Structure 1
Amino acid sequence: MASFRSVLTLTNSAKLALSTRSMASHPLAGLLGKLNHVAIATPDLKKSSEFYMGLGAKVSEAVPQPEHGVYTVFVELPNSKIELLHPYGDKSPIQAFLNKNKDGGMHHICIEVRDIHEAVTAVKSKGIRTLGAKPKIGAHGKDVMFLHPKDCGGVLIELEQE
């Protein structure tokens, strides 16, 4: 029985080493960083903010982002953030989202990248469409680029410069 366990351990270690090696040689290895935030569109920013405050979270004030057509509120978590989004102005993309989702819901996820320009080139080389020709400044004052949800498993993904 002990020899069977040794073989099983050796086999599992070899599989782990093989999978780690194959990930390291992937062309996008090391490109993606940590999850920065999950963005939630909300029809009632005050109510949503109070919900997270009631759970003991640190919640920022609402900040208008006219260039993006949104108000943002950040909910600080120990390992990430939640970004609450509410429409700002008549042409807000969040209003279009809320027209389809009256109660609000998850809008996008944001993943940090070490080099936004390298990341954009890499995803485009994989046939992933971007929502814009070049990165623009996001809510954190850093370059961001959104990836088309139809190319990302139905999820709108925001890449943000670390």
Structure 2
Amino acid sequence: MFSFGAASIRSSIITSRTFSTSALSGLLGKLNHVAIACPDLEKASGFYKKLGANVSEAFPQKEHGVYTVFINLGNSKIELLHPLGEKSPIATFLQKNKDGGIHHVCIEVRDINEAIKTVKALGIRTIGDEAKIGAHGKPVIFLHPKDCLGVLTELEQA
């Protein structure tokens, strides 16, 4: 059985703060969004609308090969992704995951170029060599999932 007394919780909080001295300390900000690939964008949007969420219209992102729908949660977002064209990376994802699923997480950084230099220096591979403009109109870069605990990770300049 686990014991979570006040002293134990304080100790855990203090211990977790020691991790902020890592190389990415000061670079990583808040969770911006979790992106979910959807085989049926209308159905997925409807699900969040039924829950009372603030759901955007679908936006075509031709340069990324996706349609996006943004669900504003106040402190972060959910980004629904649906293929736009046959060469869409989301189409490839949905071929492997017929029901859809979490595609990536996005974390804000204060300086995308500094973040790219830092992750590369740490041996974390990026997908592409430099930032591109993402769906929110801000510079982004993706980190290879094999270097990020199996999770495709997007860094977005805040």
Once residues 52 and 73 of structure 1 are traced to their aligned partners in structure 2, the CA distance between those partners, rounded to angstroms, is 11
Name which of 108, 113, 119 aligns with 2:115.
119
CA change 1:30–1:103 in 2 (3 A) is same
**SS class of match (1:85):** strand
In the alignment, structure 2 segments of 5+ residues that lack a partner are: 1-6
Once residues 148 and 87 of structure 1 are traced to their aligned partners in structure 2, the CA distance between those partners, rounded to angstroms, is 21
Give runs of aligned pairs for residues 1-162 of structure 1, distance below 5 A. 20=17, 22-162=18-158
* TM-score, normalised via structure 1 length: 0.87
**SS class of match (2:19):** helix
The AA in structure 1 aligned to 2:89 is P
Once residues 66 and 83 of structure 1 are traced to their aligned partners in structure 2, the CA distance between those partners, rounded to angstroms, is 16
Once residues 74 and 94 of structure 2 are traced to their aligned partners in structure 1, the CA distance between those partners, rounded to angstroms, is 28
Once residues 61 and 19 of structure 1 are traced to their aligned partners in structure 2, the CA distance between those partners, rounded to angstroms, is 39
Once residues 27 and 50 of structure 1 are traced to their aligned partners in structure 2, the CA distance between those partners, rounded to angstroms, is 41
- The CA deviation string for residues 80-122 of structure 1, in whole angstroms up to 9 with x for no partner, is 1000000001100000000000000000000000000000100
1:79 CA displacement: 1.7
In the alignment, structure 1 segments of 5+ residues that lack a partner are: 1-8
Once residues 152 and 86 of structure 1 are traced to their aligned partners in structure 2, the CA distance between those partners, rounded to angstroms, is 24
Structure with bigger gyration radius: 1
CA change 1:125–1:96 in 2 (3 A) is same
* TM-score, normalised via structure 2 length: 0.90
